[in-house]
Amino acid sequence: MIRVENLYKTFVMGEVQVHALRGVSFEIADGEFVGIMGKSGSGKSTLLRQLGLIDEPTKGEIFYDDKPTHELSLRERSHFRLTYLGYIFQEFALIPELTALENVMLPGMMKGEKREDYERRATELLEIVDLGDRIHHRPKQLSGGQQQRVAIARSLINTPKVLFADEPTASLDSTSSKIVMETFQKLNKELKQTIILVTHEPDDERYLHKTLWMKDGKLIHHKTAI
Amino acid sequence: MKQTLRTWKVGFFLTVRSLTRGNVSTTLMTIFMMAMIFVNLIFLTSIINGLVHTAYNQIIETLTGHILVEPAAGKGSLADATAVEKELMHVNGISHVSPRTNFSAELEYNGEKGSYRGVAIDTEKEAAVTTVKNHVVAGRFLEPDDTNAVILGNQITGGEDVELHEYSLKNVQVGDAVKMTFANGLEKTYTVVGIFDNDFVQADNRFFVNADEYFSLFPELKNQASEMAVRMDHSDVYDVDAVVSDIESRSIDANIRTWKDTAGVVESFTASFTIVNFIVSIVGIIVAGITIFIVMYVDVVNRRKQIGILRAIGIAENSIAISYLLRALLYAVVGIILGMILFNVVIIPMFIRRPLHLPVGNVSLIIDTGVMYMRALALLIVSFLGAYIPIHKTLRMHIIDAIWGE
């Protein structure tokens, strides 16, 4: 379970202070598929980065299974991201010199498992995201949608507790977007994977269990699917 | 320990993939640049080494031989020169000895006059000790039975390319007659039978006459010598200092000096070159460091987003650093090897075929292996630092600044 208490994030740009998050609190249960929605500049991506431990809040607390994260050192945060969290970026974010399989394998290699274990799991994950026939392709040989699915597979290699996705379909056409969202839905249903994604597409709501609406750095309401 | 191995494994994996699947032309250009930096680091040093070696060689080959035997302090000449020469020839390692009588005389040709240093020699012995005979550029070397003959250094005859032309007799040719006025006022006319050019000013502002001819004018000086130039048999086998010690242990009343002791001005120039060489090397290494830093900095900046993403997905910062540092070191190692091959196989043979023609003589490139390895080590160290600073700086950045930042 993720519990967020009174989260603030302020960016200082010269003499100007930008309050991106202003006292956000909520809870997400294991296995939920949650969307964070809102207009541009509402603070949704900032919130996701705090949850994914990529950034540190100015004030407030994030608990994973009731354990506070603010006490973690830089190395511990890195290890926590590697072991418990998966992160998918808007811009695919694959390493161009690595094949699809190697991109997916990399966090597994870092975790220190046996090569045959993480290679087998990477292959399985690429099959789950329907890229079983593209495992030796390099990112430039894949379409945008395929690259995003490789990124999804990579985020799952270490069986994370939570999967974060920051506008994963923003750079994709509607067909690829649909495939990616259905992939998330499949992961959530079949693997009980907790997924939190930022999206500005109202149509995506149909895949979600819960939607957190943001405005001016505040959570304005929760909406739970019936 | 396991974590360290894992960190290295991932770093090594990223390095190998980056090298084998990255931009080949960028990799080749970087390696070529490293090779050029390495060549630049050793090029000037090897020219200076070549210059010093040539100067030392000229001293040995045209002036002093390996050892110079001079009169003891307070004495004007070596008495009983024949006995001294005989004694010297008994020393292990000595192959030839050339007794010389130095004198000063005024030469006059076609209205031009100048005071020059003359040397009375036994022509065959001198030819065995020095290479002046091989550097006769016009006419011939002195023969043992020459009487009214003289050979002049090109600094005395003069000419367009001669450094001391203004102080010369201005264009004396073989066959011309020059009037020689000795210190005691004695005058005699000599025929120029040869002109020598050793490419070494100190050796080429002298003239030679036959010793028998000189002693016929100054019989009281017979069996005396101003100095004896000594040639060693195998200077690579026998140690000069050991031979000097051997001579000193014998009952020869003389001052024994090695060629290096007589180097004087050349030695001070050499010391200056060593200092210049040191400064140039330091500057070269600093420039190399800055160049490598710029290349790696541009590379890291271009991959900053990728570095941020690697960190975001949990790849250890040390693994990322290792991948960049290994790549930089590999560029340096391959560049150094390429530079060494280029230098030893192309540049040095080219300079041996076409040496630099400098006033001190023909200069080729000479580099000491130890110096070359030291420069290689220095380049490796600056490559490491040049890569470490930008990657360390980027890894200290906040992840969101690395991925989305300015």
Q: pLDDT at position A156, please?
A: 84
The token pair that represents B32 in the structure block: 């070529």
- Cα distances (Å, whole numbers) of residue B62 to B55, B102, B122, B202: 10, 15, 15, 9
In a domain, A131, yes or no: no
Residue B10 near chain A (CB below 8 Å): yes
Q: What angle do CA B106, B107, B110 make, to 5 degrees?
A: 140
By C-alpha distance, the chain A residue nearest B15 is A97
User: How far is A93 from A87, CA to CA, in rounded Å?
Assistant: 10
Counting residues of chain B whose pLDDT is more than 90, the rounded percentage is 52
The token pair that represents B157 in the structure block: 């005859």
- Min Cα separation B4/chain A (Å): 10
Q: pLDDT at position B8, please?
A: 92
A-chain residues near B26 (CB < 8 A): none
Spatial CB neighbours of B42, under 8 Å, sequence gap ≥ 6: B339, B343, B367, B371, B372, B375
Q: pLDDT at position B262, please?
A: 79
Contact A83, B3 (CB under 8 A): no
Q: pLDDT at position B236, please?
A: 64
Q: pLDDT at position A198, please?
A: 93
Per mean pLDDT, which range of A40-49, A177-186, B189-198 is the poorest?
Answer: A177-186
User: How far is B105 from A186, CA to CA, in rounded Å?
Assistant: 110
A-chain residues near B403 (CB < 8 A): 89, 93
* pLDDT average, residue stretch B319-341: 94
* pLDDT average, residue stretch B209-227: 93
Q: pLDDT at position A225, please?
A: 62
Instruction: Identify the residue with better confidence: B270 or A216.
Output: A216
Are B309 and A89 within 8 A, CB to CB? yes
User: How far is A182 from A188, CA to CA, in rounded Å?
Assistant: 10
- How many residues in chain B? 406
* pLDDT average, residue stretch B135-144: 94
Are B315 and A97 within 8 A, CB to CB? no
Task: Write down the mean pLDDT value for chain B.
Answer: 89
Could you read off the pLDDT of A126-176 as tens digits, one per residue? 988 888 999 999 999 999 889 988 988 898 888 888 999 998 888 778 888
Could you read off the pLDDT of B181-210 as tens digits, one per residue? 999 999 999 999 999 999 888 899 999 999
- Domain range summary for chain B, segments of one domain joined by +: 2-59+267-404, 66-258
Considering its fold, how many domains does chain A have in total?
1
Q: What is the CATH number of the domain that holds A166?
A: 3.40.50.300
Neighbours of A190 (CB within 10 A): 9
Per mean pLDDT, which range of B90-99, B143-152, B360-369, B370-379 is the poorest?
Answer: B360-369
**Residue type for position A45:** S
* pLDDT average, residue stretch B63-85: 90
Say if residue B2's pLDDT is above 80: no
- Mutation choice for A interface testing from B306, B313, B406 by most A CBs within 10 A: B313
Q: Could you tell me the pTM of the whole model? A: 0.76
Q: pLDDT at position A145, please?
A: 85
Residue with tokens 């140039």: B280
Model ipTM value:
0.82
In a domain, A147, yes or no: no
In a domain, A151, yes or no: no
Q: pLDDT at position B265, please?
A: 67
By C-alpha distance, the chain A residue nearest B8 is A110
Neighbours of B295 (CB within 10 A): 21
- Highest mean pLDDT (candidates A73-82, A212-221, B56-65, B96-105): B96-105
Say if residue B32's pLDDT is above 80: yes
Q: Counting beta carbons within 10 angstroms of the beta carbon of residue A144, is it exposed (0 to 12), middle (13 to 18) or buried (19 or more)? A: middle
- Min Cα separation A172/chain B (Å): 19
User: How far is B303 from B323, CA to CA, in rounded Å?
Assistant: 12
Say if residue B155's pLDDT is above 90: yes
Contact B66, B258 (CB under 8 A): yes
Expressed as residue numbers, the domain containing A42 is 2-93+159-224
In a domain, A79, yes or no: yes
Task: Write down the mean pLDDT value for chain A.
Answer: 89
Task: Please state the separation of Cα B161 from the chain's center in Å.
Answer: 23
Are A89 and B312 within 8 A, CB to CB? yes
Task: Please state the separation of Cα A129 from the chain's center in Å.
Answer: 16
- Min Cα separation B18/chain A (Å): 6
Spatial CB neighbours of A58, under 8 Å, sequence gap ≥ 6: A8, A9, A10, A21
pLDDT interval class at A221 (50, 70, 90): confident
By C-alpha distance, the chain A residue nearest B13 is A106
Spatial CB neighbours of B23, under 8 Å, sequence gap ≥ 6: none
Could you read off the pLDDT of B226-263 as tens digits, one per residue? 999 999 987 666 788 889 999 988 888 889 999 888 77
By C-alpha distance, the chain B residue nearest A154 is B313
Say if residue B270's pLDDT is above 80: no
Q: pLDDT at position A13, please?
A: 82
Say if residue A77's pLDDT is above 90: no
Q: pLDDT at position A226, please?
A: 54
* pLDDT average, residue stretch A189-200: 90
Spatial CB neighbours of B90, under 8 Å, sequence gap ≥ 6: none
What residues of chain A, 38 to 97, have a C-beta less than 8 Å from chain B? 49, 52, 54-55, 75, 78-79, 81-83, 85-87, 89, 93, 95-97
Instruction: Identify the residue with better confidence: B165 or B178.
Output: B178
Residue B219 near chain A (CB below 8 Å): no
Could you read off the pLDDT of B105-114 as tens digits, one per residue? 999 998 899 9
Nearest to B312 by CA among A139, A62, A78: A78
